[in-house]
Amino acid sequence: MISEHSEELLRVVASLPALPGVYRYFDAEGNVLYVGKAISLKKRVASYFQKDHGGTRIGHMVSKIARLETTVVRSEAEALLLENNLIKTLNPKYNILFRDDKSYPYLKISGQAPNAKSRRDAGPDPADASSQTRAAPAEFARVSYYRGAVEKKHRYFGPYPSAWAVKEAILLMQKVFRLRTCEDPVFSNRTRPCLLYQIKRCSAPCVGHISVDDYAQDVANAEKFLRGDAQEVLHKLEARMMDHADRLEFEQAAELRNQVAALSNVLHQQSVDNVSDRDVDILAVKVQGGKACVNLAMVRGGRHLGDRPYFPTHVEEAVGLEHWNSEGALEQAKSVEVQVLEAFLAQHYIDVAMPAVLVVSEPVSKELMVALSERTGIKSSAIHQPRDQRRAWLDMAQTNAALQLARLLAEEGSQQARTRALAEALDLTADNLDELRIECFDISHTAGEATQASCVVFQHHKMQNAQYRRYNIEGITPGDDYAAMRQVITRRYSKLAEVLNEAKYSGIAPAGTGRMPDLVLIDGGKGQVAMAREVFVSLGLDVSLLVGVEKGEGRKVGLEELVFADGREKVYLGADSAALMLVAQIRDEAHRFAITGMRAQRAKVRVGGGKLEEIAGIGPKRRARLLQRFGGVRGVSLASLQDLATVEGISRELAEEIYRALH
């Protein structure tokens, strides 16, 4: 094994320090092969090069190593953090990689935590009547859905596995505690209660139907419930209800009775969740057919909130590598399930808060848990082979992991069949169907306004969302779809065509320049295809790649025909054709992506676009005068330079600045 590597590489390996750190292996083309961490870089890295691994998977990887880089850190926790950040950034072939999903949603309660003692029992204070009539929104906390960075001035509960789970919790806050969900501008401008008050989902603090302290008490109870103290809240509500009844305050007692009934109903529905555990994550892994699924279920405040599946990449390449412990000594290879689960733990909990208890389907290393605890500042334990309610949770998570993986394998099998059917129907010569790349274009506008073009990408048997692109179309006659298609095709392929043509003459293909797709779909018929063909001819590109998707008779789905730019006759694949299903899937995605972009652009122009307040010299008064004169931002943008200059406070120079900014 040593003789296969350069002397320079071996000298670097021999000179490594016996310190904790992270190492990266590169092949001859500069591609990252593997990222790892070690307590002793010297022992760990040297262990790869000190024996003959034969034809094993690790031997295949080691044979490709041409260069290595290392970074020394202070502790194993730092090494864990750096290792997994690099795995996510560099996408090494021999590491199990969990793609970053969208951030988790939270339930947010705005404003400072309630600390005032409720004066409900003392009755209303007449001196507060005026303040109750028009109270400030900040005095009445709002419950809302939230996703993003947290702020100390608010309280956040979660994370929740899905937006649906958050919305269910918000509905619960409305039913039981009648907390407001309206935004502050709506709150400030209400003159009478809204429909939510009528259906007993809000206590109408906006119009003074509840005092500040009484509302604060409801907020405090809601927060206790979300933290898992439901029984404590219930007992306090019952005690207050009986107190009001003893004092013959039947109206207040009735309000509390309704609240107790609503809360009791919720607890009855979720009785299975009333256990001692407050915050727990349950993780189950399933591996099958070269794919893996980690199902993460969440318990927060003693309530099971739902679950979310994760599907790692590079599983086949990464598993089967020999394993070294933190000292660099060779250990028995871990099972695929353990490797996948440990990779998930290391990558997931770097960015997400980790609860004190993890229930796991596979045993994970103590060193990993210690490093994660040190990294997050929360001492966490991983429980394997749990009992009682934890066992039930884990069984549920394992069942869901198996179901989600079966669904993925079925979908991928279907998508692969569709890809193969399309390649055969159009005689595409892709050597590897996994690498077959299709790009599709669509134009969207409303009567010529806010014209946008979309380009979506299909590769590896699925849509590649990260490679989607939108193009703002400018300088054309509004509504001219042909000119819009000419512009987007030119912008998409002109630079690539230039590089490819240079490479054709020089015989050298520059690295990192990308490649032409195997098929370019155009959402349109002969006219759009002819326009795209003109661009391809002018750029020296192969026109046989261009195919139009022409709507059939009556524009009915399933009757589409394919139009070819190279002169071939139209083709109707058939309504039940797997190839047509794939074409329709890609075309519909291009249309969806284009129309959402167009609507956002149109809304920007009509409502907040070219924001006047961002123009130097435009303050609140001048902005109000402009909007009043022209009826909104849209009217201002359509006004001429002379019309703008007639508005009070708008000089000729400022009018020119406004006109430039909006055009």
CATH number at residue 642: 1.10.150.20
Which residue type is seen at 171? L
If asked whether residues 12 and 82 sit together in one domain, one would say yes
Boundary-marking domain end, from 41, 62, 90: 90
Q: Which of 28-32, 123-127, 275-279, 422-426 has the lowest mean pLDDT?
A: 123-127
Instruction: DSSP letter for 205, please.
Output: G
CATH at 30? 3.40.1440.10
Is the pLDDT reported for residue 3 higher than 60?
no
If you average pLDDT over every residue of the chain, what do you get?
81
pLDDT tens per residue across span 463-509: 998 899 999 888 888 888 899 999 999 999 998 888 887 777 665 55
If asked whether residues 398 and 362 sit together in one domain, one would say yes
Confidence at 286, pLDDT banded by 50, 70, 90: very high
pLDDT of 113: 64
Boundaries of domain holding 622? 609-662
Is the pLDDT reported for residue 324 higher than 90?
no
- Angstrom distance (rounded) from CA 80 to CA 392: 32
pLDDT of 255: 72
If asked whether residues 146 and 253 sit together in one domain, one would say yes
If asked whether residues 222 and 119 sit together in one domain, one would say yes
Backbone phi and psi for residue 161, each to the nearest 5 degrees, phi listed first: -75, -20
If asked whether residues 614 and 594 sit together in one domain, one would say no
pLDDT of 265: 61
If asked whether residues 45 and 138 sit together in one domain, one would say no
410, part of any domain: no
Evaluated on CA atoms 168, 172, 174, 180, the torsion sign reads negative
Task: Kindly state the tokens that stand for 204.
Answer: 């109408």
Average pLDDT on 113-140 reads 53
pLDDT of 361: 94
Is the pLDDT reported for residue 162 higher than 90?
no
If asked whether residues 26 and 133 sit together in one domain, one would say no
pLDDT of 457: 94
pLDDT of 307: 86
472, part of any domain: yes
**Greater model confidence, 318 or 377:** 377
426, part of any domain: no
538, part of any domain: yes
pLDDT tens per residue across span 518-566: 999 999 889 999 999 999 999 999 999 999 998 877 667 677 889 999 8
Alpha-carbon distances of 607 from 59, 278, 614, 621, 635, rounded to whole Å: 61, 45, 14, 18, 10
Whole-model pTM over 0.75: no
Is the pLDDT reported for residue 131 higher than 50?
no
Number of compact structural domains in the chain = 5
Confidence at 384, pLDDT banded by 50, 70, 90: very high
Task: Kindly state the tokens that stand for 473.
Answer: 């179309």
Cα Rg of the chain, angstroms: 31
pLDDT of 329: 52
Range with the largest mean pLDDT of 170-174, 188-192, 214-218, 347-351? 214-218
pLDDT tens per residue across span 574-625: 877 888 889 999 999 999 998 887 776 655 554 444 466 667 778 777 887 8
- Angstrom distance (rounded) from CA 236 to CA 233: 5
- Angstrom distance (rounded) from CA 519 to CA 544: 8
If asked whether residues 442 and 580 sit together in one domain, one would say yes
pLDDT of 650: 87
pLDDT tens per residue across span 331-365: 556 788 998 999 999 888 877 888 889 999 999 98
User: Buried (b) or exposed (e) across 18-29, using 16+ Cβ within 10 A?
Assistant: eebbbbbbbeee
If asked whether residues 488 and 516 sit together in one domain, one would say yes
Average pLDDT on 2-19 reads 82
- Contact indicator for 68, 109 with CB cutoff of 8 Å: no
Is the pLDDT reported for residue 293 higher than 90?
yes
Task: Kindly state the tokens that stand for 601.
Answer: 């652009």
- Angstrom distance (rounded) from CA 643 to CA 650: 10
Cβ atoms within 10 Å, residue 8: 10
If asked whether residues 42 and 136 sit together in one domain, one would say no
pLDDT of 510: 53
pLDDT tens per residue across span 37-78: 888 888 888 888 877 666 667 778 888 899 999 999 888 778
- Contact indicator for 172, 164 with CB cutoff of 8 Å: no
Displacement of CA 524 from its chain's centroid (Å): 31
Evaluated on CA atoms 384, 387, 392, 393, the torsion sign reads negative
150, part of any domain: yes
Boundary-marking domain end, from 35, 57, 90: 90
pLDDT of 123: 42
Displacement of CA 616 from its chain's centroid (Å): 36
pLDDT of 126: 38
Q: Which of 205-214, 375-384, 496-505, 540-549 has the lowest mean pLDDT?
A: 496-505
Boundary-marking domain end, from 577, 602, 627: 602
- Contact indicator for 283, 358 with CB cutoff of 8 Å: yes
High-pLDDT (> 90) share of the chain, %: 21
418, part of any domain: no
CATH at 500? 3.30.420.340
User: Which distant-in-sequence residues (6+ apart) come within 8 Å of 600 by Cβ?
Assistant: none
6, part of any domain: yes
If asked whether residues 513 and 578 sit together in one domain, one would say yes
- Angstrom distance (rounded) from CA 215 to CA 179: 8
pLDDT of 568: 87
If asked whether residues 447 and 565 sit together in one domain, one would say yes
Q: How many CA atoms are closer than 13 Å to the CA of 397, on its beta-carbon side?
A: 32
388, part of any domain: yes
